Structure 1
Amino acid sequence: MSNPDKKGFSKISNLVSCRQVLNIMTMFGFMLNYALRVNLTIAIVAMVKTNTTNTIGVILNGNSTTNLTTPSSNVSPAGEVEDEKFAWDSYQQNFVLGSFFWGYILTELPGGRLAELIGGRRVFGHSMLWASLLTLFTPMAAHFDYVALIVVRVVLGFMLGASWPAIHPVAAVWIPPLDRSKFMSNMMASSLGAAITMPICGFFISSFGWASVFYLTGGVGLLWSICWFLFVFDTPATHPRISPEERREIEEAIGSSTSKKRPSHVPWGELLTSSAVWAIIITHGLSVFGFFTVINQLPTYMHDILNFNIKKNGLFSSLPYLGKYIMALSSSYLADFLRQKGTLSTTATRKVFTTFALFTPGLLMVVQVYLGDVAGWSVAIFTLALFFHGAVTAGYLGNGLDIAPNFSGTIFGMANTLSSFGGFLSTWMVGALTYKDKTYHQWQIVFWVLAATYMSGAIVYVIMGTGELQSWNSPPEKNRTDEADQEEGLPLKEKVANGN
C-alpha cells in the first residue's frame, strides 16, 4: 500500500530540493542566531531608568556598543510605549550584557564534537530552540530579579555557543565538496541579520515597549526551530522525501571523505600536530580579532576623534553588515565555480580568497593611518574593510570540511573558542592605548596593529594552509567489531545491492 505522506513529500521535492531547503533554513537560522544574542543590547537603553545619564560600554559576542548614552530626560517621546524601567547603573548594565559570553565560550568545542557524534541537525536545532524559549522568558526574568536575568543570559550563551560549530557536520554529510563554499556563506547571514535586526527592534521598542523585542525574536526563533525539525534531517539516507536522484548525487559526490559511521573518537595527536588545523585556528583568531576591533571601535573612534555619531545614521550602521553578506555570497559562488571548472585547486582557492579577505582590510587600515582624521574617509575605509572581509567564507572559514570533514565541528569549535577572546582583547587593547590619551595619534597605533593582524593572518594561511584531505580524517575504530555500518549511513547504491 502506498504511503500518502511520501506522495505529498514527492510533490514537494519536485518544487524544491532537500539541499535548497537546508540552505534556506540555515540562512534564516544564522540571521535569527544574531538576533537572539543582540536583542538585549538593543533593548537595554529603553530598559534602564533615564533620570540620570548612563554611559554603556559593552561586549556581546564581539559586538560592542561604546559610549551609547541614554537621554537624561524622564519624558518619553510622544507615542512611545513605556515599560517598567530598572535602576541599573553602568556597571550593572555591562555585567548583564557581558554575561552572555560566560556561557557562550564554554560550548564552542563541546558543541562541535557533539554534532559529530549525534548529528548537527539536533545540536543546531536544540541550540536555537532553547535559546528562543529563554528569550521569551527574558522579560519575566528581568522583572523578577537582576540576577535571574544574568542567569538567563548565561544559559542563552551556553546554548548558542554550540550552534556555529554544529553546522559544519551538517555540511559534511549534506553538501558535496565543490558546493561547500556557497553553503558556508549562509553563516554570514548573521551579518544580514544585523542589518535588519536593529531597525526592526527599534521600531518595536518605540511602538510596543522593550519587552516586545524579546517576544518578537523569541517567537520567530521558536517558529524557525519547529520548521527546522520538520524539514531538515540528519543525513540524505534518513530524509523521508528526498528523491533517489538527489540522494545518489550527494552520496556519490561526498564519497568516502565523510565516514558512513561517525568516528567514535578524535585522533587528538594527529589533529593537534597538524599544520593544516593550526592554519585554520590561527588565521581565524587573527581574522576575528581584526573584525571585532573594526565593528566594536568604529562608533567610539568616530565619536571621540571626529565628533560624528555613526549610530544615528541608519545607512552607515547597516551598510557594512549588508556589504559583508553580499561579498560572502558572491565570493563563495565564484570560489566553487573556479573549483568545479578546474581553474583553481581547493588549496589554491582557499589561499587566494583568504589572502584577499584579510590582506585587503590590512592595506585599508594602513590607509586609515593617513586618512582617518576625515569622517568621510573613515566611514568609507571601515565599510570597505568589512565588505572585503566577507570573502573569508570562500577561504579558511569552511576549510575544516576540506581537510577533515569527520572532525570539522571540532576544528571550528577550537578556532571559535580562541577567536571568542578577540572581542575582549580588542576592547582591552583600544582601552589601554586611548585611556589617558584619546588622540588621533593613539588611534593610529590601533590602525597599525590592525594592519599587522590582518596581514599576519593571510601570511600564516598562505604558508600553512591546505585544501587536501588529511589521512587522520578516518581513524581506525577502537575495539572495532565486524558488525555492519548503521543502516542510516549506508549509501543508496549499497542498499540496493544488498536487496534492502
Structure 2
Amino acid sequence: MSGKSEFLTCQRVLGLMVLLGSMIHHMLRVNISIAIIEMVNRNNTTSTTDAPRYNWDEEEKNNVLGYFFWGYVLTQIPGGRLSEIFGTKIIIGIGIMTASLFTILTPISSYMNYYCLLFVRFALGIALGVQWPSMPPMATKWVPPTDMSKFLSHLTASSLGVAVTLPMCGYLIDYWGWPSVFYVTGTIALTWTICWFYLIYDSPERHPRISENEKLKLRHEIKRDMPSAKKKSTPWKKILTSGPVWAIVMANTCASFTFFIAFMQLPTYMSHVLHFSIKANGWLSSLPYFVRYCTSVISSCVADFIKKSERLSTTAIRKTFCSILFFGTFILFAIQAFWGYNSIVSVAVFTSSLGLMGLATPGIYANSVDIAPAYSGTVYGISQVPAALAGYALTKIVAVITKDEQSFQQWIYVFWIVAGVNLFAFLFCLIFISGDEQSWNHKTDDAEIEKLQNDGSKECP
C-alpha cells in the first residue's frame, strides 16, 4: 500500500488530471470544426441521418467558428489573475463545468436560431478562456522549476484531445448525426469536472490526503520559488512595458495563428479541397495532433535536462526552441503554398508543422514562470488575448479568401500569410525572449512562506 501511494503521489494525480483536462478543453473546442461540415447544406452531399442542415454561407459558417474567440479573449487576463488570488481549482472547475453545459446545449440552440448558436459559442469561449492562464499559478506551487517544462507539456495533451475527438466525431456523425458529437463530448467533460473537484487542491499544504513525505519533499524543492501575489498590487505598468513579456505575447500569438489553421480549418480543407470522406477526414485531421503531443513531451524533457545540467542558460533554451519552431514552420508553409494540392504533401506539412508546435512548451509556455512566477497567470493571460484574437482573425481571413471558391488556388494566399507570420515571429523572438526573472516579480520571504504553509495546514480536515 505504501509503495502504491508513493507511486501515485498527489503531484502525479494533478499531472494526470491536467493532462485529461487539457484533452477535454480542446475536445469541447474542436468538436464543431468537424461537425460543421455536416451542419451546412452542400449541393453535392446527402446526409445519412435525420439531423438538420442549415443554409449558411462561408461567412456565417466562419462566424460560428469565430464567435468562440470573442468570448475566449475576455477571460484570459481575469482567469490568470483570479487564479493567483482565489486558486486554480475553483476557477478551472467552474469554467469546464459551464463549458460542458453549453456544449450539450449547442444542438438545441442551433435548432432555435442562428444567433442563439452564436451566443452559445460566445459563452463557451468565456467558460474555456480561464483554463490556460489558470494553470501556471498552480504549477508554481506543485512543481520545481527544473521540471516546469515537462509538467506544462501536459497542457499540450490538448492535441491528444483533438486527435481522439476528430475520428470519434467522424464515427458519431456517420452513425447518429452531428448532434451526438455535442452530447457525448459535453457529458465526458461533466464527468471530468466531478473528479477535478474531488481530487485536486491548489497547493500541497491545502491537500487533505497528501503524505507527509511528499509534502516535505515538495516544500524543500519549491520553497524558494513559492510565489505569493495575493495581497500585492499588480505592477501593471512594469508588466505591460516589459520586453520579455512582449516576447511571450508575440510568440504565443504567432504560434496560435499557425495552430488555428490546423485546429479550425484543416477539416474543411481536407473535405473541400482534397475531397476526403468524413471518416477519413477525422483520422487524417487527427494525425498531426498525436505528433504535436509527442514532440512537446520529448522537447520539454530535453529542455529540463539541459536546464538541470546548466549547459545552457534559460534564455538560450527558450530562444533555441522558439527559433526551431518558427523558422521550421515558415519553411513548411512555403512548401504547402507550392505543392499543397497534393494530399501527401498536405498531410506531411500539417503533421510536421503541428509537430513543431510542440516546441512551444519549452519555448513559450514555461517562459512566464521563468520571468515572473508570482504573476505567471497574469502574464500568460495577457499573451492569450492577442493569441485568441489571432484565431478569430484567421477565420475571417479564410472566409474572405475562400468566399467565392474553395480551391487550392485560393488557399495559397492563406498559406503564404501563415508563412510570413512565422518568419516575423522567428526574428522577433530571437531578439527579445529572456529567461531571467524580472525585477518587478514579487518574491515570497521566509515569514510569508511559513504563514502560507501554516494557513494551508489549518484548512486540511
Q: Taking structure 1 as the reference length, what is the TM-score of the superposition?
A: 0.81
- 2:20 counterpart of 1:28: yes
Question: Against the structure 1 CA distance between its residues 487 and 224, is the aligned structure 2 distance closer, same or farther, given a 3 Å change threshold?
Answer: farther
1:116 and 2:84 matched:
yes
Q: Tell me whether 1:464 sits opposite 2:427 in the alignment.
A: no
Match of 2:234 in 1: 266
Cα distance in 2, alignment partners of residues 289 and 393 from structure 1: 16
What one-letter code is carried by the residue in structure 2 that aligns with 1:127? Answer: G
In proportion to residue count, which structure has more helix?
A: 2
What is the distance in 1 between the residues matched to 2:307 and 2:292?
A: 22
Equivalence for 2:104? 136
For residues 107 and 19 of structure 1, what CA distance do their matches in structure 2 show? 27
Aligned residue pairs, count: 455
Rounded Cα–Cα distance in structure 1 between residues aligned with 2:185 and 2:372: 35
**Cα deviation per residue 1:465-492 (whole Å; 9 max; x = unaligned)?**
1111112110799xxxxxx748772279
Higher relative contact order (CA 8 A, sep 6+): 2
CA offsets 1:113-146 (integer angstroms, 9 cap, x no match): 1111111121111111121223234444445555
Pairing partner for 1:409 from 352, 377, 400 = 377
The 8 Å contact of residues 136 and 214 in structure 1, kept in 2 or not, is answered as yes
The offset of 1:455, in angstroms, is 2.6
The TM-score normalised by the length of structure 2 is 0.87
Return the letter of the residue paired with 2:387.
Answer: S
SS in 1 for 2:390: helix
The answer to whether the aligner puts 1:249 opposite 2:212 as a matched pair is: no
Q: Quick one: distance in 1 between partners of 2:293 and 2:55?
A: 36
Residues 423, 144 of structure 1: CA spacing in aligned structure 2 closer, same or farther, 3 A cutoff?
closer
Separation (CA, whole Å) in 1 of partners of 2:39 and 2:138: 38
Mapped to 2, the partners of 1:214 and 1:295 lie a distance apart of 17
Q: For 1:97 and 1:434, how far apart are their aligned partners in 2?
A: 15
Partner residue, 2:56: 89
Query: Is contact 1:310-1:316 (8 Å) kept?
Result: no
Specify whether residues 436 and 134 from structure 1 end up closer, same or farther in structure 2 by C-alpha distance, changes over 3 A only: closer
Partner of 1:102: 70
Shift in alpha-carbon separation, 1:70–1:436, aligned structure 2, 3 A: closer
Supply the distance in 2 between the matched residues of 1:98 and 1:359 (Cα, whole angstroms). Answer: 27
**Contact 1:251/1:491, CA 8 A, preserved across alignment:** no
Alpha-carbon distance, 1:443 to partner:
5.4
- Alignment match of 1:17 (pick from 9, 14, 20): 9
Name the structure 2 match of 1:359: 327
- The 1:390/1:118 distance shift into structure 2, 3 A limit, reads same
Query: Partners in 2 of 1:41 and 1:290 — Cα distance?
Result: 16
In structure 2, the partner of 1:283 is 251
Structure 1 SS opposite 2:92: helix
Cα distance change, pair 250–377 in 1 and its aligned pair in 2 (3 A) = same
Distance in 1 (alpha carbons) for counterparts of 2:260 and 2:303: 25
User: Residues of 2 paired with 1:273 and 1:96: CA distance?
Assistant: 35
Residue 56 of structure 2 aligns with an amino acid whose one-letter code is D
1:308–1:375 contact (8 Å) kept in structure 2: no
* Structure 1 gap ranges (5+): 1-7, 49-53, 55-68, 478-483, 496-500
- 1:318 equivalent in alignment to 2:283: no
User: What's the counterpart of residue 399 of structure 1?
Assistant: 367
Letter in structure 1 aligned against 2:356: F
Q: Which amino acid aligns with 1:106?
A: L
Q: Is the Cα–Cα contact under 8 Å of residues 100 and 156 in structure 1 kept in the other structure?
A: yes
Report the residue type matching 1:243 in the other structure. S
Aligned-pair CA distance for 1:205: 3.3
Q: Which amino acid aligns with 1:181?
A: S
Letter of the 2:209 partner, please give it.
Answer: R
Instruction: Tell whether the 8 Å contact from 2:64 to 2:121 is kept in structure 1 after alignment.
Output: yes
For the residues of structure 2 that align with 1:446 and 1:24, how far apart are their CA atoms? Answer: 37
- CA separation in 1, counterparts of 2:117 and 2:402? 32
**Structure 2 equivalent of residue 489 of structure 1:** 452
Q: Which whole-Å CA distance do the structure 2 matches of 1:490 and 1:159 have between them?
A: 31
CA RMSD of aligned residues (A): 3.3
8 Å contact 1:236–1:242 — kept in the other structure? yes
For 1:89 and 1:428, how far apart are their aligned partners in 2?
A: 15
Amino acid at match of 2:330: G
Secondary structure, aligned partner of 1:14: helix
| Counterparts of 2:267 and 2:170, CA distance in 1 | 18
2:165 to 191, 194, 197: 197
Separation in 2, partners of 1:387, 1:325: 7
Separation in structure 2 between the aligned mates of residue 307 and residue 44 of structure 1, nearest angstrom: 17
1:43 and 2:35 equivalent? yes
Indicate the percent of aligned positions where both proteins have the same amino acid.
39
The residue type equivalent to 1:489 in the other structure is: L
Give the whole-Å Cα distance in 2 for the aligned partners of 1:438 and 1:139: 26
2:205 aligned to 222, 233, 237, which one? Answer: 237
SS at match of 1:184: helix
